[in-house]
Structure 1
Amino acid sequence: MPHHHSGLRPSRLSRALVAAIFVSAAGAAFAQTPASVDELSTSNKKTTDIGGVVVTGSRIKRTQIEGPSPVTVISSAQIQREGFVTVFDALTTLTQNGGVTQNELNSAGGFTPNGSPVNLRGLGPGRTLLLINGRRAADYPFPYNGQSNFQNFGNIPSAAVDRIEILSGGASAIYGSDAVAGVINVVLKTNFSGDKVTLRGGTSTTGGGDFGNLQWVGGRSGDNWSVTYALEYFADEPVFAFQRDFMDSTDDNPRPVPELGVNQPSASIRLNRPGGAANSYIAPPPGACDRFGGELVPFNFRSVSAGTRAVVNLGQGCGSWKDVGYQTIANGNSDWSGYLYATYDFANGIEAWTSLQGFYSKSKLSGGTEAISGPHIDGTGRVTTWFDTGLNANMNMQRIFTPAEVGGLDAMYQRFTEKSLDVAFGLRGTLGDRFDWDVTVGRAEYRADRTRPRLDGSKVTDWFFGPRLNTTGTPRYRINLDRLYTPLTPAQYQSMSTILKYQSKSWVNQGSATLSGELFDLPAGPLGFAAVLDLTSQGYDLESPPAILPTVMEAYGLTGTNGGGDRDRYAAGLEFSIPILPSLKASLAGRFDKYDDITAVDDAKTWGAGLEWRPLDSLLLRANYSTSFKAPDMHFVFNEGSGSFSSPLDTYRCLNANLTAASCTGSVYNYSMFATSKGEPGLTEETGESWGAGLVWDLTDGLSMSVDYYDIKLDDAVTTLSSTYILDNEGGCRTGLTRTRQPFQFAADSAFCREITSRVTRVAAPGELTDRVTNIRSGPVNQSLLHVAGLDAAMNWRFSTQRFGDYRMELGWTHTLKSERQLLATDPVDKDWRDDPGNFDFRSRVRGSVSWQKDAWNATVFMTRYGSLPNWQETGRIAPYFQWNLNLGKQITDRAKVTVFVNNVFNKFHPSDDGYDSYPYFYRAYSPIGREISAQLEYNFN
């Protein structure tokens, strides 16, 4: 894989700093730190007196918001101003959110297709901690990609949100495990007065995606009590790939195989001898492809020889141009959420409070058409090569099932029912007018059920192949050609399929006690402190259908995972704010976490320190350092066994054919393989450190800016060995060569090679040069190193004109300067991972907005920019991507306001990449939804 060297690495930091200052001076910044409810996302002023509040990153109450660690804040007003309906939509535009995750476009057939993860700094979804009002949220019950736990940012009711605070850096000294890449604290509304109803509805202009959103938020209060409540309903319809003309067909491929010159349909009914030889396809009966209602077409398929690049005529089959279009690219949802917060003042300095947040959702999505590729043997799975006694040859095949055969699009849906409940109670008060105390207990629980239709392997085999005709060796069957080429009726499909049911839940019980205040006065001011005790118990339980478990494998071509366990944690922490000079303040925090579970992780000690220097009233210089840790995700530990299918390159087979990886294409070298994984109780905790330095500068009364450098390093990061990594190294161990036929670094009898080769199971493949892979033993391991560093810059500019109204301009920018990784201690550190053509994390992100208000009118233009990415052929980079939102509102009465929104004004889908020859023919980080228009009515009952 090529690497791109700029030759300018020694000056990258200095150039980026100059660029950061220039960008900041050019406009205005995205949220940095709060001043008032509506200004929470925009003010950087360090001298704002807010009466003492706790801000994410510290438990000490402060009257000066800016501290040694930068905190980005998004207010509810900003979420609406920039055109977003949901909390997750707003978070996806965070400039720090540069890492790629599975989304609704690419995970329809995966393990967590209904989850909404955030990936700060590209360090992975499970390394960003989600807090609700400062308390841990329960994990999403289904593990991310079937491997690790993460938290869902898609079930937070936007109607209840007051603000979102984002600390993007290590914070384990304050919050414990998981706060490695950062913390996102969603602060919900309190002390709301009156009632407000908001109704919004819209659609996409390209087709599909109708949605509606109804919000009601209100509050009441008396002399010694208050209550705030919110209720929200959100619904949208699924969007299918066939509703987008740039991804509804395999003919949308922008890069046909050069030797062929044209695209080919999917070989949707294919019966062929293995090996890719000329005329290896068995031609279907005349007119057979036409029996499928126009879904399939007769086609003469061709391939290209990997070595000579000669065109090979494979023969006739039935092809489909349209089968790729039957998967959803956006889920359909029907979500209810509610929130209640109440306080009671006992008039003796003690206040009681309670909080209740609930979520209920029904969702649906489609992973596309089902297909079979051979007979199925229970406990083993599908057989991709068998000896057919009727055709007297080893055979391969494929047979898709069209929507009409399964009963229409509605019969293809996977369906989710999700419920979450977060309940908390607390008491707070003061001691001697000097100290504040707070005692909180709470429980958060998340349940998710999933159903999906799937073919039963034995019934499919009975229908199409009949009984197995031998017991050992290459399986022998006799395929029923008439049934192969005859469409099923929906009743026939249902008779050989089942509805698989998954059940999962997660929970977290937590109690905490906090004492904070000022211990005594020092010459430069009071010494602030906070002490905290935390007790937490969390767990999960995942029950997948027995038919998909790796030890059973009764469902056709589908696997899954089971697991469950719990973990207790006890923690104590201290934090100090130390005035050294009137203009110089230090902070120091330390925390001890004790764990009780089956792992070797017994305890963790973390600490952090910071400096704040204000040489001028308008200038803050700051620096911070902290250590962090992450206990192994529970599914990495308690996984009872999971499986996955993929089609990686069989590197050994390629090298054994005297070829390089670039020359090995087609089903001979890339074929379906099954990988298994189990939990590893012996995993150790991930440990890390992060530091940063920067400035906040109020240039004028209405103009402020900030620039911060960040550096995060993580050791022993847990990852799952990929099939590609295992096969590449297995090929090296067996042949002594790398993919590019360079000398391999390990000897065949080394401990590394003995371990790697033991992870690959091969069986003889008659008529082929090299044995085929039947199983890859994957699994979690402690990775050696992840390291990222870069810049965050932000600016906010507000000004008023007597004639033309008031203006607010905001701009935020994040740029990755360094990204390094090392998979195992035996691997070299990849110091050029940031610029590696295989790295598809964004190196830079920009977001900004310009808002205007005059009298009853207001408008906002919002922009987000995604930096360039490598092109799919790894020969260069594609252009950056811009998306613009626009809205215009008017206060039509004292109580009513109407706003019109246009999101993605220019209907941009993705940057052009003429070499992207893998469906959907653009990278999955980009949304295929296109322009959305909507209208909103707000009504205040005050």
Structure 2
Amino acid sequence: MSSNHHGLRRSRLSRAVASAMLFGAAGAAFAQEPAAASAGGSDKPTDVAGVVVTGSRIKRTQIEGPSPVTVISSAQIQREGFVTVFDALSTLTQNGGTVQNELNSAGGFTPNGSPVNLRGLGPGRTLLLINGRRAADYPFPYNGQSNFQNFGNIPSAAVDRIEILSGGASAIYGSDAVAGVVNVVLKTNFDGDKLTVRGGTSTTGGGDFGNVQWVGGRSGDNWSVTYALEYFADEPVFAFQRDFMDSTDDNPRPTPELGNNQPTAAIRLNRPGNAANSYIAPPAGVCDRFDGEFVRFNYRTVVAGTRAVTNLGPACGSWGDVGYQTIANGNSDWSGYLYGTYTFGNGLQAWTSLQGYHSKSKLSGGTEAISGPHIDRTGRVTTWFDTGFNTNLNMQRLLTPQEYGGFDAMYQRFTEKSLDVAVGLRGTLADRFDWDVTLGRAEYRADRTRPRLDGSAVTDWFFGPRLNTTGTPRYRINLDRLYTPLTPAQYRAMSTTLKYEAESWVTQGSATLSGDLFELPAGPLGFAAVVDFTQQGYELNSPRSILPTVVETYGLTGTNGGGDRDRYAAGLEFSIPILPSLKASLAGRFDKYDDITAVDDAKTWGYGLEWRPIESLLVRGNYSTSFKAPDMHFVFNEGSGSFSTVLDTYRCLNANLAASSCTGTVYNYSVFATSKGEPTLTEETGESWGAGLVWDITDGLSMSVDYYDIKLDDAVTTLSSTYILDNEGGCRTGLTRTRQPFQFAADSAFCQEILSRVTRSGAPGEPTDRVTGVRSGPVNQSLRHVAGLDAALNWRFSTQRWGDYRWELGWTHTLKHERQLLATDPVERDWRDDPGNFDFRSRVRGSVNWQKNDWNATVFMTRYGSLPNWQETGRIAPYFLWNANLGKQITDKAKVTVFVNNVFNKFHPSDDGYDSYPYFYSAYSPIGREISAQFEYQFH
């Protein structure tokens, strides 16, 4: 085949991909063309001298390289019906891992964050770049444990395109680029002005939203400026606005022996042990006092082992308390962007970029519950000796929205501000080499407030003073106050507004030199050299009353921490033409770290091959090493706590039962776990490789297939309470939770470590001692290994009669997922198919776009692969969502579009065994069908 040794000749494939990128990059120019002129597929794209694509710092004319890069343009985001950048990223086929979201984290540590989890390797292992620069971390640690980056604060109005590199890229970008890199490229060289207004709602109830965008730009002979301003607002959506999750009676699988669902115990006072008739019946009429929220109900339970039904007695119940949490946050967000350039007479260009974000959000984690008196530094006491009844008691008392003073008084509120400023110079050296120098500073500040009961005030109001100083706590519960609704004033008197403050920052600078060193027989040897420095830090100040060493707030804990880290790095890249059809790339990087950990430096490298046996076919392969320095909160955590309901495995095994038979509060109860930072953590190290091909079948049809393989050693994870208690039970009994022989001896080093992490003390009236504390904390995990396939198909064609068409299809399938928690554990080689793994094994996204004259339409589909059912007996079916829109260019300057997202109003696939609220897996959105209309106007 013929070639140009200077690399300026590009295949049809390369031109097609460049065109796709340029359509997004030049959004203003294309948007201002008449509709017929911007039809995709038939016109030849404009050649470019060279562009920098995520995954390399060397400019190249061939967009496709040795590592696959997914590109989502701003036009595509709108075309497929999405309002926000995060909505679009959520549909990435590579984004198959589980994350906390607005549905499942309303009461958690990061309920207002929007993480991405590429390849299921964890949110902190995907690096977010803004125009190639690191973004500041979200100030609140993910699940109170580790740092991550928020993909929800990126203004879609300013986005030109998003480039996603899935795989290790530390040889180019340093730490954190383990599972991949998401580089958000913002608009430049925009000419004119464009106003976009969109508003809509959900057809099932709630979720009204509005979005206003203004994008514009001006340019002169030696200057340019691009600007964007966006406002987005939506209202919160509550679970009670969805009839499939507004009640505990929505549980599709009641306890078989009972035959029906039971309401949440709203006012329960009982003798512990689940003995027959252990509930102390409330006086007649008590349940009716709470504005219709509670009903009188006769409760029953099933005895573990015998499965006999026991009557517990009457109490007040609530069917609807689960519906008072939000399933979508309410937001009011402003964002702005400014980018300017000035070119001097000698070709030197100066530029500056400014991006700002201000958000106010609100959400509800539901109402609070009282489950016993509170003792400072101990927390809630779930069992006490009551002198009025002369017996041990435990209880539960739910609050109602009316006791707060309405939903507005229940909200947690967030105020978030971020600012990203960068300046730089770029030019050409000796007419051969491009250089640029960049300085930048990004800051992210977040404040959070939430109402919460004070432990001492709750105890004073409901229980009075403690009547002893040692032994089982003694109180006398005030029944009149227990059975009487609080007034909003009384709630405010026994509660406080907790205030959290957090900030993160990153200061960075870099200098890059790139170009062609000299000619080789097959073409020029390209290179890029970079030196950079980064100072990164965070500070988290939680209310003193929730810290695990204080425990003054009722039923709530938190975390504090702060620290910084300096990094200095240097890297080299080479693009090496071996033959006219064969090119190699080689990259190496050295990172030097300065912090309190033992992580001192890291050396990473990578190489790739590109072989073009014919003009339309690219065969490629890549290999790279990667690393991740321990997340700063894993290191600088000053102490954090968490509550979780877990199985007391030892208590279950000691009763000669298997885990499946251990139901009820005797064996399943809330456990308080604590953890602290571990400066002894080492860096995570990884390697990834891939191979595939890209085939430009015709001028309008191309496809790609790539295999990926990512292995991560010494990954940092936090030991869960479940893991610790399962192994504690094994060490103490010699049995697993399924009553199989346990692999470690009681006197082994493993068992001694596990046993030291569990604290137990006697609990009156219960069969064995109760867990009163678990010491968790981060450890270096031994192994994570994931491998699979990515495939894509793009097809564009034109017809004279029926218009122009664009088909896009992407598919990711996980072939292998292995993990090993500790070196002493066996490798779980079948983790991909494990019934406890709720990562999607496969995902598909696709769209069909049609355009004719002044009309255009798009149908978008995303498919979620099958998941294990909740009872771990099989798998539930794959799940499809469809979006559709129709647009009309009504004048040369104005256009209207109607959108319907989730056309068929689907919520989640059926799982008749899912007996835990919300009765479906939280990866599926409960919002349902959304309809909206958009108006666009171009100013020339």
* TM class by smaller structure: over 0.9
Amino acid at match of 2:716: V
In structure 1, what is the equivalent of residue 633 of structure 2?
A: 635
Q: 1:686 to 1:46 in 2, by over 3 A?
A: farther
Structure 1 position 698, deviation (Å): 0.5
Write the deviation string for residues 175-222 of structure 1: whole angstroms up to 9, x where unpaired.
000000000000000000000000000000000000000000000011
* Residue 747 in structure 1 maps to residue 732 in structure 2: no
Alignment of 1:35-184 (within 5 A): 35-38=20-23, 49-184=47-182
Give the 3-state SS of the residue equivalent to 1:216 in structure 2.
Answer: strand
Give per-residue Cα distances to partners, 1:795-838, cap 9 Å, x unaligned: 10000000000000000000000000000000000000000000
Aligned to 2:896: 898
Letter in 2 for 1:38: F
Alpha-carbon distance in structure 2 between the residues aligned to 1:437 and 1:349: 12
Q: Of residues 169, 184, 187 in structure 2, which corresponds to 1:186?
A: 184
- In structure 2, the residue corresponding to 1:593 is in which secondary structure? strand
- State whether structure 2 residue 252 is matched by structure 1 residue 254: yes
1:48–1:664 Cα change, 3 Å: farther
What does residue 713 of structure 1 align with? Answer: 711
1:859-898 alignment to 2 at 5 Å? 859-898=857-896
2:4 is matched with none
CA contact (8 A) 1:550 1:560 kept: yes
Corresponding letter in the other structure for 2:742:
F
The answer to whether the 8 A contact 1:652-1:728 is kept is yes
**1:42-87 Cα distance to aligned partner (Å, 9 max, x none):** 99x9998422111000000001110000000000000000000000
Q: Is the 8 A contact 1:32 1:73 kept in 2?
A: no
Match of 1:496 in 2: 494
Distance 1:851 1:918, change over 3 A: same
Matches within 5 A, 1:234-253: 234-253=232-251
State which of 289, 292, 297 in structure 2 corresponds to 1:291. Answer: 289
SS at match of 2:59: coil
CA distance in 1, matches of 2:651, 2:585: 58
224, 227, 230: which one pairs with 2:228?
A: 230
Query: Who is 1:535 aligned against?
Result: 533
Counterpart residue identity of residue 227, structure 1: V
Output the CA distance in 1 between the equivalents of 2:703 and 2:337.
35
- Tell me, what secondary structure is at the counterpart of 1:97? coil
1:516-665 matched pairs, under 5 angstroms:
516-665=514-663
Residue in 1 that maps onto 2:685 = 687
Q: Judge conservation of contact 1:842–1:868 (CA < 8 Å) in 2.
A: yes
Q: Does the 8 A contact of 1:342 with 1:355 survive in 2?
A: yes
Partner of 1:15: none
SS at match of 1:682: coil
1:841 pairs, out of 839, 842, 845, with: 839
Tell me, yes or no, if the aligned pair for 2:358 and 2:415 is still in contact at 8 Å: yes
Q: Give, in whole Å, the separation in 2 of the partners of 1:52 and 1:147.
A: 42
Is the 2:762–2:770 Cα contact (8 Å) retained in structure 1? yes
1:733 matched to which residue of 2? 731
- Find the residue that maps to 2:805 and give its secondary structure: strand
In the superposition, relative to structure 1, how do residues 823 and 810 fare at CA in structure 2: closer, same or farther (>3 Å)?
A: same
Q: Distance in 2 between matches of 1:113 and 1:767?
A: 38
In the alignment, which residue of structure 2 is the partner of 1:21?
A: none
Q: Which residue of 2 aligns with 1:360?
A: 358
What secondary structure is seen at the aligned counterpart in 2 of 1:458?
Answer: helix
- Cα contact 2:21–2:73 (8 A) shared by 1: no
Q: Is the 8 A contact 1:48 1:65 kept in 2?
A: no
Aligned residue type for 2:227? Y
SS in 1 for 2:171: helix
Percent identity between the two aligned chains: 87
Q: Which residue of 1 aligns with 2:907?
A: 909
Residue 468 of structure 1 is matched in structure 2 by 466
Q: Which residue identity does 1:892 align to in structure 2?
A: I
Question: Which residue number corresponds to residue 441 of structure 1?
Answer: 439
- Judge conservation of contact 1:32–1:71 (CA < 8 Å) in 2: no
Q: Distance in 2 between matches of 1:543 and 1:766?
A: 38
Change (3 A) 1:490 1:163: same
2:34 aligned partner: none
Equivalent runs, 1:704-853 vs 2, <5 Å: 704-853=702-851
SS in 2 for 1:648: strand
- TM-score computed with the length of structure 2 as normaliser: 0.96
Q: Which amino acid aligns with 1:278?
A: A
Structure 1 residue aligned with 2:423, among 403, 414, 425? 425
Deviates further, 909-918 or 767-776: 767-776
1:769 is displaced (CA, Å) by 1.9
What SS does the corresponding residue of 1:459 show, helix, strand or coil? helix
**Distance (Å, rounded) in 1 between the aligned partners of 2:770 and 2:20:** 64
How far off its partner does 1:35 sit?
Answer: 4.2
Q: 1:245 to 1:32 in 2, by over 3 A?
A: farther
Structure 2 distance, partners of 1:309, 1:38, is: 65
Counterpart CA distance in 2 for 1:769 and 1:280 is 16
The separation in 2 between residues aligned to 1:225 and 1:691, in whole angstroms, is 43
State the shift of 1:929 in Å: 0.1
Residues 47 and 65, structure 1, Cα contact 8 Å, conserved in 2: no
Q: CA deviation at 1:36?
A: 4.3
C-alpha distance after superposition, 1:830-859 (max 9, x if no partner): 000000000000000000000000000000
Give a deviation string over 1:131-160, Cα, whole Å, max 9, x none: 000000000000000000000000000000
Once residues 275 and 359 of structure 1 are traced to their aligned partners in structure 2, the CA distance between those partners, rounded to angstroms, is: 53
**Using the alignment, how far apart are the partners of 1:889 and 1:165 within structure 2?**
27
CA contact (8 A) 1:34 1:65 kept: no
Output the CA distance in 2 between the equivalents of 1:174 and 1:320. Answer: 56
Whether the 8 Å CA contact 2:19–2:45 is kept in 1: the answer is no
2:35 is matched with none
Residue 386 of structure 2 corresponds to 388
Residue 278 of structure 1 is matched in structure 2 by 276
Is the contact between residue 35 and residue 48 of structure 1 (CA under 8 Å) also seen in structure 2? Answer: no
Letter in 2 for 1:436: D
One-letter amino acid matched to 1:619: L
Give unmatched runs, 5+ long, in structure 2: 1-12, 28-39
Contact kept in structure 1, 2:170 and 2:626, CA below 8 Å: yes
Structure 1: gaps spanning 5 or more residues: 1-27
Asked if structure 1 preserves the Cα contact closer than 8 Å seen for 2:163 and 2:184, the reply is: yes
1:737 Cα deviation (Å)? 0.5
SS at match of 2:669: coil
Amino acid corresponding to residue 37 of structure 1 in structure 2: L
8 Å contact from structure 1 (residues 33, 73) kept in 2: no
User: Aligned partners of 1:150, 1:230: CA distance in 2, in Å?
Assistant: 26
2:845 counterpart letter in structure 1: R
Q: Deviations over 1:755-810 (max 9, x none)?
A: 00000000002222210000000000000000000000001000000000000000
Letter in 1 for 2:800: Q
**Distance in structure 1 (CA, Å) of the matches to 2:761 and 2:48:** 70
Q: What is the alpha-carbon distance in structure 2 between the residues aligned to residue 154 and residue 823 of structure 1? A: 31
Asked if the contact 2:453/2:554 (under 8 Å) is kept, the reply is yes
Q: Which amino acid aligns with 2:664?
A: G
Distance 1:420 1:332, change over 3 A: same
Correspondence 1:854 to 2:858: no
In 2, Cα distance between the equivalents of 1:549 and 1:65? 51
